[in-house]
Amino acid sequence: MNVMTEMKTEVAVGDRVVHKQFPAISRHQLALYCGASGDHNPIHVDIDFAKASGFPDVFTHGMLVMGYLGQALSDAFAPSRIRAFSTRFAAITQLGAELTCEGTVAEIFEAGGERRARLALTTRDQNGEIKLAGEAVVAL
């Protein structure tokens, strides 16, 4: 059991337990994620296709942004503690977005024979616009 996991077992409603910032999203990263994820939708990497589909430019895979949020989550709670994870994709994440992922404790409850916390999660860009809003359930 690592130190970080121990730290996060004592939490209270309202605590900000997840917080991580990520570098600006580049075209290169979208190309890498296309291959790494198996999501080959050209709308994320081919500007001609994106424009023909009515968008000014390519844009970030929602699942890349959720991947960042998942990274922030499992920095705070060991993967063995994560029971559920969900998000709504509130807005398209543009190139150059510098994302901040945060999570606060919304509820502490008992289920499955263990104490669990429900976390309210957000991912915002450098302008404070919410890109993802979601939640996770973790075992305490």
Partner 1 sequence: MVDQSAVGHRFTPVTAHVEPGRLRYFLDTLGERNPVYRDAAAARTDGFAAIPVPPTYLFCLEMLDNEKPFEFLTALDIDLGRVLHGEQSFVYHTPVVVGDTLTFSPRVTSVTDKKGGALTLIVVETAVTNQNGVHVADTARTVVVRNG
| Contact footprint for partner 1 (CB under 8 A) | 1-2, 5, 22-23, 29, 32-33, 35-43, 49, 52-54, 61-64, 66-68, 70-71, 73-75, 78-80, 82-89, 92
* Shortest separation between residue 120's beta carbon and partner 1, angstroms: 15
The contacts found for 29-33 with CB under 8 angstroms, 24 or more apart, are: 29/64, 30/58, 30/60, 30/61, 30/64, 30/95, 33/61, 33/64, 33/67
Distance CA 76, CA 128 (A): 22
* Shortest separation between residue 122's beta carbon and partner 1, angstroms: 15
Which C-beta is closer to partner 1: that of 12 or that of 39? 39
Distance CA 87, CA 90 (A): 9
Kindly state the DSSP code that residue 58 receives in the 8-state scheme: -
How long, in residues, is the chain? Answer: 140
Which C-beta is closer to partner 1: that of 33 or that of 117? 33
Which C-beta is closer to partner 1: that of 71 or that of 126? 71
* Shortest separation between residue 22's beta carbon and partner 1, angstroms: 7
* Shortest separation between residue 35's beta carbon and partner 1, angstroms: 7
Q: Phi-psi category of 54—alpha, beta or left, where left has phi over 0 and alpha has psi -120 to 50?
A: left
Which C-beta is closer to partner 1: that of 14 or that of 23? 23
